[in-house]
Structure 1
């Protein structure tokens, strides 16, 4: 069955009707989920609630409420955009949560979805003493979500965040202002360590571009809306990762740690750095490919 997406059928009267109908059209179109939800029902519900200016926790009693013609059309307009343009949901709503915090996003930055959120919510324990952390550096901040989440997790720390993209830094600045963290989170236009302050950090954390060329060539259409230079990591996915591993020692304190997300490029890391004393983290909420290096072990590895 293939129906026109211009108007909702007259039989679709309630919010529940519209969510079910939108989910059916999403499944029929074969859209990709992975930028905030992982199934058609949740995607449709989030889209419909946004179109109707209702909160995500709208009580069940309202789901049976009848919609006006204008409201049904507002939902259908977004359903059509999601299907025909393959725009990820957070770019339509301009909002997403990361580490339990709300963030503004648009197509200047990646949609936040890093498993690093889980570790940040745990204040990176047991690898650091949260009360002793005073300086944090994030490489490749994008929307600023990781840097801002770190500022919440380590309330005594100053956070420096870098990106090569001025457009991304504009979005990060919006989020820093919204969270009232302008006095604790600083932004720098820097290619990895090229223009970062000459400081010593207890934590360097990064979700760099790490998608290899084979995977880039196979990306679903939704990913084409994201800044591709924030995804593409070269032939083996490690172009930027190599530079981070090579340069981090200079900026880490003696008791510092380097936290790196490499996702599906974890096998490439193991092959490229066979003797790297990295500890791969087991994540309870899903995701993989995150390793942590202690500053002393990293320096000894370089020396060897």
Structure 2
């Protein structure tokens, strides 16, 4: 089976279009186990997302937290929040992604009173457990929405009606802190993280140091370490190596260059070190990876 991948731009924003400009809503009946390395990797989008975990165990990384999601639970991911999912086994996780503008136009009273307080808050996510009354109601409505997408025709009005029911429950029960200072700090931190990621993407072929990565965002080395570890749970140098390996994997598929040349082109001065790291990341040698992708 071909594995699924999550495609992002240099800021980790997901590039997929969810629905259309006229109806910005999409339904995805996904099994996380089928994605590369059994994970939906780091990404964010302006849309909000609701996921229901109907089978298997999944670790969700959202904001600065790592949450274990069990079968029968769900989660709301807020707009603009970096998140990632890792499956421990076959893990069906049907989900919906939609623009808040689907619920109300931006310049309306309804949007400013009920939509904006949630999406502009400092709350990155809301776990939905069947043991809590209002959360169970949301989960049940989600299942109805999923069924409607799979069986119904001309279901847009019914879908929006149920999304409004979900939002009324969410906005009425979420613990939204007063004030926006924490949101500004989170946004600032994410901007710093993305600045450093972009520096790595632009210079990964070169010999770059932690100090240079930190300096690209006007941070100390300890500040850079903190932002990476709290944001995506790895160090800047580990992210640099992972990015180099990903670029090498692309070259192994797309070119006939030697493995030593690819190692040098992607910032590895030692081909032996490259081969060891590649095997650790992809669980096979670089030559075996090439043969597999070429179908030999």
Q: TM-score, normalised by structure 1?
A: 0.21
Whichever structure has more helix as a proportion of its residues is 2
Q: TM-score, normalised by structure 2?
A: 0.22
